[in-house]
Amino acid sequence: MDSAREPTQGSLDAAGFWQVWQRFDVEEKGYIEEKELDAFFYHMLTKLGVDDAVKEENVQKMKQQFMAPHEVSKDGCIQMKELAGMFLSEDENFLLLFRQETPLDSSVEFMRIWRKYDADSSGFISAAELCNFLQDLFLHHKKAISEAKLEEYTGTMMKIFDKNKDGRLDLNDLARILALQENFLLQFKMDACSSEERKRDFEKIFAHYDVSKTGALEGPEVDGFVKDMMELVQPNIRGVDLDKFREILLRHCDVNKDGKIQKSELALCLGLKINP
């Protein structure tokens, strides 16, 4: 039995790991640097309640144990996956890892998930709704999970991601869970470029949000576009605000009142002339 491993097994859950991890990976890049490893293990041992007198010795043991099977990449980055694997059981590990395995790069897909699990359209994901999300997630990964475990994991996820502790998740909380990537619209300059450039940008933008390629934005496509647009001016908009903005956008853009935003409608709305 490896002595460095003993205090770690079974005594830490995903929330505990996350607490320590967050101090080091403030921007949530998903990795820390090799030179931070000593400090990381030190904090981890503190968290695990290891006695001060043997902490330094244990840090070195842990480091050796960790480094032996791992080849640290040339850039000296250590992925969360590797460290979480050392401290957490497989399922606890899974709670943190799925966000890394499938980071979302589209707000449309993100909003599809949001709408699906905000089943009562309250503008928030409640613990019960999160529970359904987790259940589907485990199912999707073909992992069996008991009711009791599911409840426990829902509690853990709330502990980690419900930042303002009001017992429900908002848009930005779910965005963190799903590791939603940078706003697609950030790459475009909305002002000060030629009309040719603006047209070309518009084509790219429309194509990005019209995931279903119907020539119109509908359902979560509208939501995704609204979310990204609004977040250009106001970071971290709330679920309830999104619904408001969506309504405003539709009121302005949806000229033919079919609840969708056709390409020509959006162009008009953005003050662009495009050839039909």
Q: For binding to Ca ion (CB under 5 A), which residues are involved? A: 118, 120, 122, 124, 162, 164, 166, 210, 212, 214, 221, 254, 256, 258, 260, 262
Smallest distance from Ca ion to CB 164, Å: 5
Rounded Cα gap, residues 157 and 151, in angstroms:
10
Which residue type sits at 250? L
73 vs 212 by CB, closer to Ca ion: 212
Which residue type sits at 112? R
- Bridge partners of 31, per DSSP, are 79
Rounded Cα gap, residues 28 and 24, in angstroms:
9
Rounded Cα gap, residues 276 and 261, in angstroms:
15
Smallest distance from Ca ion to CB 180, Å: 17
93 vs 262 by CB, closer to Ca ion: 262
Asked if 176 contacts 220 with a C-beta cutoff of 8 angstroms, the reply is: no
Rounded Cα gap, residues 272 and 276, in angstroms:
12
Asked if 209 contacts 108 with a C-beta cutoff of 8 angstroms, the reply is: yes
Smallest distance from Ca ion to CB 23, Å: 21
Give the number of other CB atoms < 10 A from CB of residue 239: 21
Rounded Cα gap, residues 29 and 139, in angstroms:
27
Smallest distance from Ca ion to CB 92, Å: 22
32 vs 253 by CB, closer to Ca ion: 253
Give the number of other CB atoms < 10 A from CB of residue 6: 12
Rounded Cα gap, residues 27 and 30, in angstroms:
8
156 vs 262 by CB, closer to Ca ion: 262
**How far apart, in Å, are the Cα atoms of 74 and each of 25, 31, 78, 138?**
19, 14, 10, 34
5 vs 273 by CB, closer to Ca ion: 273
124 vs 153 by CB, closer to Ca ion: 124
Per-residue tokens: 224: 């995704």
Distance of CA 206 to the CA centre of its chain: 24
Smallest distance from Ca ion to CB 214, Å: 4
102 vs 214 by CB, closer to Ca ion: 214
Smallest distance from Ca ion to CB 175, Å: 13
Smallest distance from Ca ion to CB 207, Å: 10
